[in-house]
Structure 1
């Protein structure tokens, strides 16, 4: 086949690949914004942006779509490319979904501790699993697999902050403000999210500044994560060996290239037990299970609510319901698993239940 013909065929495939992803987006509705009134804190309202309603069940669906489009439009992915990702699970689930849509092989490099239901979902969408014992090696292993297969390491940790259009184009920040438009406090006092790659916080923080909004961004970070340490002291870039958070999807042992601390107004470090207790309390309030990173976000929201109330302030707070709890039945919702790790989550559950409950 001539070089010109090969290039034309590749461009034809690329156009069809982009069309399929855009068509999938057009078939999808926006995610819900759930309002939670706080009777004990009059004038302060909490909203949950429910990202669990995406086709692959988590916030990472947005990121995976953006990463695939970014890689396609850079012509890093072609019709025969094996796509590789380093992931704690949810991003890989979503990327496996898009890889199968395009007829591509997909390999997820994941820590061996990743919850089994996530691994099952990756395989359900046609992905393959490559587990590693040391989470810090996922990056190099992904690079090695890409080289061995002649594939492409899609690298969420590097490209998350640039693959999403932070100016608008229906990103998560624009969606939040559109849905808040008719509320009593349409411009939230705070938006609270976690950081795994840093892409979501970069998108929201940049959007707030570009649109000249007064809302502030708080990033909730697991206690055993480097991000909040780096925020306080830019010289800190790596956690000591053996120090790792138990909350999947957020928190990292190293500062990722996509984490942009300059657009973050505040960070709150959250112990694992408090994340799980908050997760449990919110699940009881909603009547359905949510994941651990949602608990991390909610714990940080509770701190902000209490501070606003003490200062006599009113307003709204928006946070993310990142994924459902079905993926964590054998971990965060398993009493034996929690006891084996010495996590006493009950005091946090009681505190958050009080925040969410009747006056």
Structure 2
């Protein structure tokens, strides 16, 4: 039997909490030692996956939920509803469960299977809706969530993108923690920009506490509109701002205060993913995709700094939620991203050669009529049709809806949308994928095959070329 000393009765030890709600925050800073190469500045990573719900979003989830209780928007027996890429939903689901609420989370179909499983494990009802929808589309995440709120009595919509309690949570916790942990020595703060809550709230606090000394750097996917990209889709989850081609007015989150950010570093997916693999193997930290984006931006920043300067970067979540993506050679290879392990046999990339010298196949926007598309596909055997702007460059694999040919459209009515006559999407193989495995994966397919590199289509070849180990670009495309 354990005897509790009399002097300890009525006192609570540090690190002991009444509920999971109180356990959010106070995550550690860990110094990077090996992936920094010859960088002289100190770089610390704040490990937000050590929050009880597994991510930095626990902070916003707690802040928004408690504020809703205080205002009366969320009452006992109510239902918490949110539209999210997963992590905010996980934080809300965990805290809602602890406080006796039902939770419903709307996620896009690109979210990892691990995240959906975790949401359900907390008792959340998960509604999966197609991604790549314009903001006002009825299947857009926010549209689905707001419709559920209207239908369910006592439902409350968290609305992290426009909820002032989101950045306020980071102003009250994340910023002060970083300032205290570094003894006020932090000079640069780096975070990804998604809803904008983390970089806004923590950035505002650190700038105020330092008298304006701390510089705030945003980490953004290369094509995200925050950093000046065209808004085309990317593969790192939970960061950036996507702009659908059919969006009439691009509205940024109210949680993101642009004036807080001094500079934005635009990080390609491949750079983020390659760094994730290094960090896992060289630093012992298994981190999620957006952490790779943020740390890549932090290392770029730190390379220009001296030994007295201190960079703190937010690592939003763990790589355990992405084992089927960023740490899966099958997923990585099919899209032409860097693999986790070295390949000792010939790859698809070895076969096709320098991807910069390949003539990427033409892609079409889905909004064309048959008559317009027919002019563009004349003389070709297969042509991917992508949901994108016509002149925006190579197609992203995730945006491809299907394929059409001149023969397919020959007898179709001129005024029909070309999207009404799509065949199945063409199979694709990635440049980093072992050639033998790629041939086995596409099976007995004959005809055109897309070659992908870092998530984008770079060539169209015939399947027989892959089998023969020689390549000739298909149809002159």
Normalising TM by the smaller chain, what interval? 0.7 to 0.9
C-alpha distance in structure 2 between counterparts of 1:22 and 1:220, whole Å? 36
Alignment of 1:148-227 (within 5 A): 148-150=151-153, 151-159=155-163, 164-165=168-169, 168=172, 171-181=173-183, 186-211=184-209, 212-227=211-226
The equivalent of 1:5 in structure 2 is none
Larger Rg computed on CA atoms: 2
- 1:132 maps to 129
Structure 1 CA distance for aligned equivalents of residues 39 and 158 of structure 2: 46
Gaps of 5+ in 1: 1-20, 231-238, 347-359
In the alignment, the residues of structure 2 paired with residue 247 and residue 111 of structure 1 have an alpha-carbon distance, to the nearest angstrom, of 13
Of 335, 342, 353, 1:341 maps to 335
SS at match of 1:196: coil
Is 1:32 matched up with 2:28? yes
1:256 corresponds in structure 2 to 253
- What aligned pairs does 1:46-65 form with structure 2 within 5 A after superposition? 46-65=43-62
- 2:338 aligned with 1:329, yes or no? no
Q: Tell me which residue corresponds to 2:73.
A: 76
Return the alpha-carbon distance in structure 1 between the equivalents of residues 88 and 171 of structure 2: 23
Which secondary structure state, in structure 1, belongs to the residue aligned with residue 304 of structure 2?
Answer: helix
Point out where structure 2 has 5 or more consecutive residues left out of the alignment.
Answer: 1-16, 134-139, 244-251, 341-477
Name the SS of the counterpart of 1:126 in structure 2. Answer: coil
Partners of 2:97 and 2:165 lie apart in 1 by 24
2:329–2:339 Cα contact (<8 Å) kept: no
Structure 1 position 111, deviation (Å):
0.3
Instruction: For CA contacts below 8 A with separation 6 or more, give which structure has more relative contact order.
Output: 1
Q: Deviations over 1:283-327 (max 9, x none)?
A: 11222411111110111112112222xxx5641111112211111
Find the aligned partners of 2:109 and 2:271 in 1 and give their Cα distance: 24
What is the aligned length? 308
Contact kept? 1:161, 1:203, Cα under 8 Å: no
Assess, with a 3 A threshold, how the Cα gap between structure 1 residues 344 and 167 changes in structure 2: closer, same or farther.
closer
The Cα shift of 1:135 comes to 4.7
CA distance in 1, matches of 2:278, 2:215: 25
Taking structure 1 as reference, are residues 27 and 344 closer, same or farther at Cα in structure 2, changes over 3 Å only? closer
Distance 1:162 1:86 in 2: 14
Q: Is the 8 A contact 1:221 1:270 kept in 2?
A: yes
Alpha carbons of 1:305 and 1:156: their partners in 2 closer, same or farther (altered >3 Å)?
A: same
